[in-house]
Amino acid sequence: MSLKTLSAGLGITFGFLFCMPASGWQDIERDSLSVEKEQYAIQGRGNPRIIRPFGAHMGYATTLLGDPQFLMLKINYFIIPQIEIEINPGFKYSSAGVKFHLNLSESECILTPYTGALLGMERGTAIIQVPVGIQLISRKGFSTSLDCTELIYLEYNRFELMFEISAGWRFRCKNLSH
């Protein structure tokens, strides 16, 4: 390659770059960020709450006295990496609400502490559930959580401490929220 050809090529390249409008740079930057996010997902890197927002879990919960004991199905979804919506459908016990995870959007940490508030029913009695716990989401999708929950029975003005462990799977969802 001659020096003349090289300088002509560089002149065209630099001429294109200097003539490009600022909005063009933003589009290129936005596109490269989405490509980068996709590559992180393929490599198993990035925030697992963004990569795998939807989850299904089975859980076991019991109080200090051992009554009541529950087996439960939990369906949950991260609307943003810090806020998770959870639904626990069941026969003797059901609830729905939100959990607030203490992490950053850019965090690649697989372990996060959380707290939240859920409203529900236990055997026909209205309850408020206030969990404090920790959740692990593996790079491959396995998820488990352990929490201590204050159950507040509205009808009886009674409080109980409940311990819960759950395990399940988190799934990739494209273009739903993030």
For every residue of 38-67, DSSP letters joined together read: HHHHHHT-S-HHHHS-EEEEEEEEEETTS-
pLDDT digits (tens, 9 = 90+) for 104-147: 878 888 999 999 999 999 888 999 999 999 999 998 999 999 99
pLDDT at 22: 46
The residue whose two tokens read 């995870």 is 101
pLDDT at 73: 93
Residue 23 has pLDDT above 50, yes or no: no
* Contact between residue 133 and residue 143 where contact means Cβ atoms under 8 Å apart: no
Within 58-130, where are the H helices? none
Residue 174 has pLDDT above 80, yes or no: no
Burial class, 99, CB count within 10 angstroms (exposed 0-12 / middle 13-18 / buried 19+): buried
| Nearest CA among 118, 114, 104 for reference residue 150 | 118
pLDDT at 107: 84
pLDDT at 168: 97
Q: What's the pTM value of the predicted model, to 2 decimals? A: 0.71
* Contact between residue 165 and residue 145 where contact means Cβ atoms under 8 Å apart: yes
State the Cα torsion 100-104-105-106 to the nearest 10°. Answer: -150
For residues 77-82, average pLDDT: 94
Q: Residue 15 — pLDDT band, cuts 50, 70, 90? A: very low
Q: For the chain, which domains are there? A: 3-43 (no CATH), 48-171 (2.40.160.20)
* Contact between residue 162 and residue 132 where contact means Cβ atoms under 8 Å apart: no
Reduced to 3 states (helix: H, G, I; strand: E, B; else coil), residue 10 is helix
Listed range (14-23, 112-121, 158-167, 168-177) with the worst mean pLDDT:
14-23
Residue 4 phi/psi, 5-degree rounding, is -65, -45
